[in-house]
Amino acid sequence: MTVTVAAPVAITAHQQHTTGLALDGDQWLLVTELRDAAYTVSVVHAAAGGLAVLASITAPDGGLDALDAHLSDQLLARLATHRPEVAAALTHPTDPQRWRERRVLTAHVRRARGHLATAEVALVPTPAAEVSVPLDRATLTKVLAEQAAAL
């Protein structure tokens, strides 16, 4: 049997099961979901009768895709000090080759962002083969703060 529940309820139930989150009595929880396309914040009510979503708000431009695009822009600004013509072409791509290179750069940024879970710095390869740009946790934290402030 398949049961469909709201994502915030599923997240809360998962936390109860995997971390031992204790929900005693009447409680309110703030549940956040950071997905590729959006960032959602929900208020979940936990009571004897179970879990219920009171309200949710979604920022469609607050997801991981937007984060990676913003990080890519930051890295292109750094690349501009070494190869301004490449950085300019990727900042505003006008032909299919440059669009492809921009998508590849963003994929490299996403992988580098994943490496920052265990490392302080990750190198991001660029279309300028001789230039890799470092992405560090401080930059990631700064960009996340800017995105949160914009929401």
pLDDT of residue 20: 84
E-assigned strand segments in the chain: 27-34, 39-47, 50-59, 121-125, 132-136
Query: What's 62's DSSP letter?
Result: S
Q: Are 104 and 111 in contact (CB under 8 A)?
A: no
pLDDT of residue 3: 66
- Residues paired with 42 in a beta bridge: 31, 56
pLDDT of residue 104: 94
- Measured CA to CA, the distance from residue 128 to residue 105 in angstroms comes to 11
pLDDT in tens, the chain (151 residues): 766 778 888 888 888 888 888 877 788 888 888 888 888 888 988 888 788 888 988 888 888 898 899 899 989 999 999 999 999 999 999 999 999 999 999 999 999 999 998 999 999 999 888 889 999 999 888 888 887 777 6
- Measured CA to CA, the distance from residue 124 to residue 100 in angstroms comes to 16
The structure's pTM equals 0.73
Contacts of 143 (CB under 8 A, 6+ apart): 67, 70, 71, 74
Pairing of strands 132-136, 39-47: unpaired
Query: What's 6's DSSP letter?
Result: -
